[in-house]
Amino acid sequence: MSRIGKKPVTIPDGVTASLDGQTVTAKGPKGELTFVVNEQVKVMMEEGTIAVNPANESKQARAFWGMSRTMIENIMIGVKDGFEKKLEINGVGYRAAMQGSNLQLSLGFSHDVVYTPPQGVSIAVPKPTEIVITGHDKQVVGQCAAEIRAYRPPEPYKGKGVKYADETIFRKEGKKK
């Protein structure tokens, strides 16, 4: 039994949700998102909630059950509040700046890295060493943050590189005489 799947998803105020077969659509102040639920999961919409149940007792149906409920909850949160990822840049001379809608990163390469964000994602640089990525689709925001981090992941000796704000870097001691 899925503990996550058992709980129904409540539709927040200001969000209109509709169910068309296996497609769940949510509209809110931040935009519109849809999710197509796998056939091994049944979706039912009651007053103010969306309930998810497995179609049968197979292992695959139970796996899709909890995942489908979480995906539906993420689209409800996304269209109402949106998602945000914060990145930090550590290192001498490492900095970020906005160049129109693109992000320009100076990360110690011979050239600056220019990152173009996907549609529906906005990037802000409050400080030269801080990047804030916001959007209404959790997967796209996370993918965007991962692509920026991949240009220069943090190294374990001095901690230089791009890291998530809540990430801890396990530091190594280095050489001894």
pLDDT tens, 48-78? 899 999 988 888 988 899 899 999 999 999 9
Of all residues in the chain, the percent with pLDDT exceeding 90 is: 74
Can you give the residue ranges of every domain in the chain? Answer: 3-80, 83-164
d(CA 61, CA 56): 6
Q: Which CATH superfamily is domain 83-164 in?
A: Ribosomal protein L6 (3.90.930.12)
d(CA 162, CA 148): 8
Any bridge partners for residue 17, and if so which? Answer: 26
Q: Tell me, what amino acid is at 130?
A: E
pTM for this structure? 0.87
Q: Which two tokens stand for residue 129?
A: 């060493």
Q: Which two tokens stand for residue 87?
A: 């990145």
pLDDT recorded at residue 175: 85
pLDDT digits (tens, 9 = 90+) for 97-141: 999 999 999 999 999 999 999 998 999 999 999 999 999 999 999
Residue 1's pLDDT band, with cuts at 50, 70 and 90, is low
pLDDT digits (tens, 9 = 90+) for 17-46: 998 988 999 999 988 999 999 999 999 998
pLDDT recorded at residue 86: 97
Q: What is the DSSP string of 134-171?
A: EES-HHHHHHHHHHHHHHSPPPTTT--EEEETT--PPP
pLDDT recorded at residue 103: 95
Architecture field, domain 3-80: Alpha-Beta Complex (3.90)
- Average pLDDT, rounded, for the chain: 92
* Per-residue pLDDT at 2 exceeds 90: no
Strands 113-115 and 102-106: antiparallel
d(CA 116, CA 112): 13
**Comparing C-alpha atoms, which of 76, 71, 34, 38 is closest to residue 54?**
38
Q: What is the DSSP string of 8-38?
A: PEEPPTT-EEEEETTEEEEEETTEEEEEEPP
